[in-house]
Amino acid sequence: MFVLISQRDVPAEKGANRDALEQDYVSYYAKFGITLIPVSNNSENIEEYFKLPIYGLILSGGNNVNPKLYNQESKYPSDFSVNRDNTEKKLLELAIKKKLPVLCECRGSQFMNVFFNGSLIQNINDEIGTNHVAVAHKIRIIDEKVSSFLGKTETIVNSFHKQGFTKEQLSKKLESFAIAEDGIIEGIYHPEYPIAGILWHPERSGCDEELNKRLIQAFIKGELFWKK
């Protein structure tokens, strides 16, 4: 099974930008029979990727989302990438057009929220007073159908993001299914399109492996948020 995946945009010191995808993504999703096809942030013809026999799309972590996309000025030093934002916008538009399942991770979920006209907290630590970088924390599964499918009402996830959103910033077009104790939303989905996002990283240690397994299997089987 072939799945497209977005990549981190890394500016080089001498001007030659680089795309980067952590190898953990490749090895983790391979366990589920998924072969990832990385999409360059410098691709001019994103449509060409969709001519391949792909099953779906993953929006990966890394980089921040440009605050200008949700009508704010940047309050902090940030590593946002205009090229990456444009690339993921095209990827989502084409995936929706072709009715392909989409899984968003971490930054991918933040971009998903902004794509559907939501906004972000630019720095959770400064604005909420809690840390979501390199920690593990509890989340509650607040959607009964999702908790029934996953077999849990709460669990532990890893966390590697400075940006995030609460109910106040959540797009009116999206629904939340998981939330942290500080009010940061950890899981979202679109009620009409087969698109869902999580703020944690299944491919990294520090979270519920069994719950992640059920989520990824639902993604590839077309169940739960991705039901056909």
| Residues 61 and 106: beta-carbon distance below 8 Å | yes
Distance between alpha carbon 83 and the CA centroid of its chain, in Å? 17
CA distance 33 to 129: 40
Question: How distant, in Å, are the alpha carbons of 34, 98, 107, 174, 211 from that of 55?
Answer: 9, 10, 21, 23, 22
- Active-site annotation holds for 132: no
Catalytic residue selected from 88, 105, 186, 203: 203
Q: Which residue has the tokens 């929006």?
A: 59
Beta bridge partners, 134, equal: none
Q: One of 88, 161, 201, 207 is an active-site residue; which one? A: 201
168 annotated active-site: no
* Residue whose entry in the numeric block shows the structure tokens 């990438």: 81
201 in catalytic set: yes
Residue 223 exposure: Cα atoms within 13 Å on the Cβ side: 13
Determine which one of 88, 105, 106, 132 is catalytic. 106
Helix or strand holding residue 189 (H, E): strand 185-189
Q: Of the candidates 211, 151, 137, which has an alpha carbon nearest to the alpha carbon of residue 181?
A: 137
Q: List residues bridging with 121 in a β-sheet.
A: 164
**What letter represents residue 39's amino acid?**
V
Question: Do the Cβ atoms of 196 and 103 come closer than 8 Å?
Answer: yes
Active site amino acids? 106, 201, 203
